[in-house]
């Protein structure tokens, strides 16, 4: 009895201890996360099941002319219309501004504020509210691995970072602009998790895309996602930008389909790999640890791929048809589709890091937009596609599979080759179907062959395709102001989305002011107002958009001809924007107006920018570009009339590492350095290239400094004023010295580290005196 009583007592004491520990942990958790802000708005009840999501990535900077959140909000109807229901916003936070940081959206200076370039917290809330009202969730990109080098934590909490033996903070992996956080520090973990929780409450967001998710230890994700899931008022989506199989065990809903892209889609296209082998192996790997609603997000393009050396998706997959074929596999086979904002208009211009120099043209390729919408909307309508069991019947060239849910069966055949392929129908696919898009009756016969054209895809369903009547139509935008000569794409949304007959007609009540094409593209003709009406073929449902046409924009270019030129000065242009307004000229161009005093002019109407060359039929300038009124004289653009004297300021460029050594044109195609800075070869003028960049032109030779050929040396040849490799920017170093950085290769800085006699560009690091310069001894000349 005494022994039994003893053990009962010990057991009771242990239970009391366990209870005390549990209460302590709960109190600690409440203390750690007790500073959540008040909930803004009403938590969104329409967050889709992870299996039902159609993701849309927004790269904010190129997304609109302003590159801000308001520009995204303005296109919410378009994002909805293409068939997506989850918007993934790239980082909205302020970026670092010190010399070691970069303007990358992923170089974050403050985790709990909106960067001023994007707008305000109120702007973010407006975007989220607008998405929610349209039935779309919003997830934020979040970076847990590091900060900018000027983040307050670097000085307030240096122990929150990985450091070397001397206490110096280390960079994150291969990212020199990022200071690496230390996941062994519990206070740092709490601060990061608090920042993630902040956005759930302050902006009512619906989850996170977690950058470089492979990097943190798994127990961090368990802790962070456990805390976020503890916000029971919200149904959050958690997306790992990683491909480690154990990330699902960390609590993520989604892994990123890097395996599928790099080990299946890309080698199938690039190397002609066997379709069945690559797709099967990649799928098996990605889903090895998945359970329940865990999904892999599969993509054909994203912000990393789009700016890669291989080109964007249109280049990699052989055009829009190739992109669409691969997208159907991503959307229907097994996983969640991911549409990179700009793909829906087949925007065929790469968006390079840090995403500041390109603006997406949304007015093009409405047929591509419609095809993406068709594919995504069918996915939304089909339980089998979204949640059904997949069986793979692919062969060497054709990706073939079935998706089955209950009585619903869908057969998908996709030719992933750029030429025709023949597929033999297996017995499991035999039967009667209807085309999922057109409703046409189809019979598949076991053993028969099916020929698919280049990148053709076929989607068949065993479900009866009933005639679904149109109940309504809407148009976006409902009003717009357009300058004469420009265009505005209107987008129609048919209700319901699975209506059988979605044919519409477009009309304008005032074609003298604005016309409209069969695809809803409005062209502004002259100042005034017009009403554009869309009418459905089924049911005669209508909607209208009010168009106000304002007088067209214009700018004038002036040219002062050098001595020795003739008097018949002409201007030749090409690639004028917006496209379609002004056709390319015919060499040598048109005659410019003689304004007297040596100046000639030409005015561009309804044009925002153009490439151009001034010439007299024999002599000509370099290839130039202009987007505003300007005067061009002696190789330099001016925003106001500089007169005809052509006075130019020249500088010598002196190095900090080697005192009294200056850069000069060596005359052999290279930039050298030396101490005899007495000739014009040592003098350089800075020519404004726009957006904070400049050209460096030598006074003696007229050559431009550049790195076009990537031969190890900074070059000096005639070059081209439109080359990014010839454009430079100045970044502050220390003590009045600066780094000279290239626009094309942003990690290339002019330096003389190895003292070869010539200027170099590779491998320069912050702090090198050999990469620090000053522009000195200015002189005025012509």
Structure confidence by residue, pLDDT tens digits, 567-608: 899 999 999 987 777 899 999 999 999 887 788 999 998 888
Instruction: Write out pLDDT tens, residues 72-81.
Output: 999 999 999 9
For range 381-404, the mean pLDDT = 95
SS3 of residue 499 by DSSP: coil
Selection from 281, 265, 259, 405 nearest residue 324 by Cα: 265
Do 534 and 570 share a domain, yes or no? no
For range 322-335, the mean pLDDT = 96
Do 68 and 181 share a domain, yes or no? yes
Alpha helices in 356-481 (DSSP H): 366-381, 383-387
Q: Tell me if 769 is assigned to some domain.
A: yes
pLDDT band at 467 (very low <50, low <70, confident <90, very high): low
Q: DSSP string spanning 378-390?
A: HHHH-HHHHHSEE
Ranking 13-17, 65-69, 348-352, 766-770 by mean pLDDT, the lowest is 13-17
* 499: CATH: 2.60.40.1080
What is residue 562's predicted lDDT score, i.e. its pLDDT? 84
Q: Tell me if 21 is assigned to some domain.
A: no
Alpha helices in 33-74 (DSSP H): 60-63, 69-73
What is residue 208's predicted lDDT score, i.e. its pLDDT? 98
What is residue 14's predicted lDDT score, i.e. its pLDDT? 47
Instruction: Write out pLDDT tens, residues 495-549.
Output: 987 665 667 899 999 998 999 998 899 998 888 999 999 999 888 899 999 999 9
Question: To 5 degrees, how large is the angle CA 254–CA 256–CA 261?
Answer: 145
User: In this model, does residue 23 exceed pLDDT 50?
Assistant: no
What is residue 424's predicted lDDT score, i.e. its pLDDT? 93
Do 198 and 132 share a domain, yes or no? yes
What is residue 774's predicted lDDT score, i.e. its pLDDT? 94
Is the torsion defined by CA of 302, 303, 308, 310 positive or negative? positive
Q: Tell me if 299 is assigned to some domain.
A: no
Owner of token pair 């060497």: 396
Domain residues for 613? Answer: 554-638
Cα 771 from chain centre: 31
Whole-Å CA distances, 200 to 73, 89, 95, 125, 448: 19, 14, 21, 11, 55
Instruction: Write out pLDDT tens, residues 600-650.
Output: 999 998 888 999 999 999 999 999 999 999 999 888 898 888 765 456 788
For range 655-668, the mean pLDDT = 94
User: In this model, does residue 22 exceed pLDDT 70?
Assistant: no
What is residue 30's predicted lDDT score, i.e. its pLDDT? 41
What is residue 65's predicted lDDT score, i.e. its pLDDT? 95
| Predicted TM-score of the model (pTM) | 0.58
Instruction: Please state the φ and ψ torsions of residue 223, each to the nearest 5 degrees.
Output: -65, -50
Q: Mean pLDDT score of the chain, rounded to an integer?
A: 90
Stated as kind and residue range, the H or E segment containing 706 is: strand 704-706
* 615: CATH: 2.60.40.10
User: In this model, does residue 5 exceed pLDDT 70?
Assistant: no
User: Strands of 542-550's sheet, edge to edge?
Assistant: 479-483, 542-550, 528-536, 504-508
What is residue 29's predicted lDDT score, i.e. its pLDDT? 40
- Length of the chain measured in residues: 782
What is residue 644's predicted lDDT score, i.e. its pLDDT? 52
Q: Tell me if 515 is assigned to some domain.
A: yes
pLDDT band at 11 (very low <50, low <70, confident <90, very high): very low
User: In this model, does residue 19 exceed pLDDT 90?
Assistant: no
* 430: CATH: 2.60.40.1180
User: In this model, does residue 1 exceed pLDDT 70?
Assistant: no
Q: Tell me if 434 is assigned to some domain.
A: yes
Most confident of 14-23, 31-40, 200-209: 200-209
Whole-Å CA distances, 428 to 389, 391, 409: 14, 10, 11
Q: Tell me if 312 is assigned to some domain.
A: no
Say if residues 341 and 57 touch (Cβ distance below 8 Å): yes
Last residue of a domain, one of 253, 288, 321: 253
Do 532 and 589 share a domain, yes or no? no
User: In this model, does residue 487 exceed pLDDT 80?
Assistant: yes
What is residue 561's predicted lDDT score, i.e. its pLDDT? 86
User: In this model, does residue 184 exceed pLDDT 80?
Assistant: yes
User: In this model, does residue 690 exceed pLDDT 90?
Assistant: no
What is residue 498's predicted lDDT score, i.e. its pLDDT? 65
**Which two three-digit tokens encode residue 15?**
């239970």
Do 663 and 516 share a domain, yes or no? no
Selection from 516, 547, 776, 765 nearest residue 654 by Cα: 776
Instruction: Write out pLDDT tens, residues 201-258.
Output: 999 999 999 999 999 999 999 999 999 999 999 999 999 999 999 999 999 999 999 9
Gap between the Cα atoms of 357 and 62, Å rounded: 7
Say if residues 604 and 557 touch (Cβ distance below 8 Å): yes
pLDDT band at 284 (very low <50, low <70, confident <90, very high): very high
User: In this model, does residue 161 exceed pLDDT 90?
Assistant: yes
For range 267-273, the mean pLDDT = 89
Residue 346: Cβ within 10 Å count: 20
Specify the DSSP class assigned to residue 288: T
User: In this model, does residue 66 exceed pLDDT 90?
Assistant: yes
Question: How many domains does the structure of the chain reveal?
Answer: 5
Do 661 and 590 share a domain, yes or no? no
Do 611 and 665 share a domain, yes or no? no
Percent of the chain with pLDDT strictly greater than 90 = 73
Do 544 and 573 share a domain, yes or no? no
Whole-Å CA distances, 131 to 75, 134, 181, 613: 10, 5, 33, 46
Last residue of a domain, one of 511, 533, 550: 550
**Burial of 441 (C-beta count, 10 Å sphere; 0-12/13-18/19+):** exposed
**Which two three-digit tokens encode residue 398?**
């054709």
* 747: CATH: 2.80.10.50
Q: Which residue has the higher pLDDT, 746 or 200?
A: 200
For range 332-361, the mean pLDDT = 94
- The CA-to-CA distance between both ends of the chain, in Å, stands at 110
User: In this model, does residue 564 exceed pLDDT 90?
Assistant: no
Do 111 and 168 share a domain, yes or no? yes
Ranking 89-98, 467-476, 625-634, 768-777 by mean pLDDT, the lowest is 467-476
Do 713 and 607 share a domain, yes or no? no
User: In this model, does residue 21 exceed pLDDT 60?
Assistant: no
What is residue 608's predicted lDDT score, i.e. its pLDDT? 85
Q: Tell me if 178 is assigned to some domain.
A: yes
**Which two three-digit tokens encode residue 56?**
């849309």
281-316 burial: b if 16+ Cβ within 10 Å, else e: ebbebbbeebeeebbbbbbbbbbebbbeeeebbbeb
Q: Tell me if 293 is assigned to some domain.
A: no
Do 711 and 765 share a domain, yes or no? yes
Gap between the Cα atoms of 206 and 571, Å rounded: 54
Do 567 and 713 share a domain, yes or no? no
* 124: CATH: 3.20.20.80
Say if residues 636 and 648 touch (Cβ distance below 8 Å): yes
Gap between the Cα atoms of 326 and 300, Å rounded: 7
For range 265-282, the mean pLDDT = 91
Last residue of a domain, one of 515, 550, 585: 550
């Amino acid at each position: 009895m005494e022994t039994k009583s003893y053990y009962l007592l010990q057991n009771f004491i242990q239970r009391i201890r366990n209870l005390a520990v549990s209460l302590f942990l709960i109190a600690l958790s409440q203390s750690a996360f007790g500073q959540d802000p008040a909930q803004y708005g009403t938590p969104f009840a329409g967050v889709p099941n992870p299996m039902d999501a159609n993701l849309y990535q927004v790269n904010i900077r190129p997304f609109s002319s302003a590159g801000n959140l308001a520009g995204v909000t303005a296109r919410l109807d378009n994002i909805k219309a293409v068939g997506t229901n989850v918007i993934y916003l790239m980082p909205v936070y302020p970026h670092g501004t010190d010399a070691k940081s970069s303007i990358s959206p992923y170089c974050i200076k403050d985790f709990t504020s909106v960067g001023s370039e994007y707008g305000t917290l109120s702007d973010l809330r407006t975007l989220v509210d607008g998405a929610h009202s349209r039935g779309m969730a919003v997830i934020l990109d979040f970076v847990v691995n590091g900060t900018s080098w000027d983040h307050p934590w670097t000085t307030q909490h240096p122990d929150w970072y990985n450091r070397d033996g001397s206490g110096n903070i280390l960079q994150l992996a291969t990212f020199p602009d990022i200071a690496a956080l230390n996941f062994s520090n519990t206070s740092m973990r709490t601060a990061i998790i608090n920042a993630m929780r902040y956005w759930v409450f302050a902006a009512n967001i619906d989850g996170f895309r977690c950058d470089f998710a492979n990097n943190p230890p798994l127990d961090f994700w368990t802790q962070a996602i456990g805390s976020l899931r503890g916000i029971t008022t919200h149904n959050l989506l958690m997306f790992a930008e990683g491909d480690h199989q154990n990330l699902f065990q960390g609590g993520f809903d989604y892994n990123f389909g890097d395996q599928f892209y790099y080990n299946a889609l890309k080698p199938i296209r690039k190397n002609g790999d066997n379709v069945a082998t690559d797709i099967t192996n990649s799928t098996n790997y990605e889903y090895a640890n998945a359970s329940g609603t865990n999904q892999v997000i599969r993509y054909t393009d994203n912000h990393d791929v789009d700016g890669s050396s291989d080109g964007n998706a249109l280049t990699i997959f052989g055009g829009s048809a190739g992109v669409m074929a691969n997208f159907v596999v991503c959307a229907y086979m097994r996983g969640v589709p991911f549409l990179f904002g700009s793909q829906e208009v087949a925007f065929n211009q790469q968006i390079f890091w840090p995403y500041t120099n390109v603006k997406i043209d949304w007015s093009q390729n409405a047929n591509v937009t419609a095809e993406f919408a068709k594919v995504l909307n069918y996915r939304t309508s089909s339980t089998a596609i979204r949640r059904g069991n997949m069986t793979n019947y692919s062969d060497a060239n054709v990706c073939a599979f079935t998706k089955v849910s209950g009585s619903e069966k869908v057969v998908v055949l996709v030719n992933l080759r750029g030429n025709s392929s023949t597929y033999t129908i297996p017995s499991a696919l035999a039967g009667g179907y209807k085309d999922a898009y057109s409703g046409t009756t189809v019979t598949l016969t076991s053993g028969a062959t099916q020929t698919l054209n280049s990148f053709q895809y076929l989607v068949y369903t065993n479900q009866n395709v009933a005639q679904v009547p149109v109940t309504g139509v809407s148009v976006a935008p409902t009003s717009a102001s357009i300058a004469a000569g420009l265009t505005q794409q209107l987008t129609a949304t048919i209700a319901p989305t699975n209506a059988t007959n979605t044919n519409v007609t477009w009309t304008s009540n005032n074609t003298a002011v604005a016309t409209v094409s069969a695809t809803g593209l409005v062209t502004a003709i002259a100042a005034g107002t017009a009403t554009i009406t869309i009418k459905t073929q089924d049911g005669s449902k209508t909607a209208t958009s009010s168009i106000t046409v304002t007088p067209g924009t214009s700018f004038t270019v002036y040219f002062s001809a050098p001595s020795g030129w003739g008097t018949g000065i002409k201007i030749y242009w090409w690639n004028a924007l917006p496209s379609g307004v002004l056709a390319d000229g015919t060499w040598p161009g048109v005659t410019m107006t003689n304004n007297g005093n040596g100046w000639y002019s030409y005015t561009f109407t309804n044009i925002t920018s153009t490439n151009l060359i001034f010439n007299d039929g024999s002599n000509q300038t370099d290839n130039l570009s202009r987007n505003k009124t300007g005067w061009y004289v002696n190789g330099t653009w001016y925003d106001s009339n500089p007169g005809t004297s052509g006075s130019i300021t020249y500088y010598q460029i002196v190095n900090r590492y080697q005192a009294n050594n200056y850069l000069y044109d060596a005359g052999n195609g290279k930039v050298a350095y030396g101490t005899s800075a007495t000739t014009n070869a040592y003098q350089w003028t800075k020519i404004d290239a726009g957006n904070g960049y400049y050209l460096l032109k030598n006074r003696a030779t007229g050559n431009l400094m550049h790195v076009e050929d990537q031969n190890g040396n900074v070059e000096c040849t005639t070059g081209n004023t439109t080359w990014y490799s010839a454009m430079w920017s100045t970044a502050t170093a220390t003590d009045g010295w600066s780094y000279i950085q290239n626009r094309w290769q942003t990690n290339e800085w002019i330096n003389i580290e190895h003292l070869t006699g010539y200027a170099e560009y590779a491998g320069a690091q912050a702090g090198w005196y050999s990469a620090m310069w000053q522009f000195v001894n200015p002189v005025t000349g012509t």
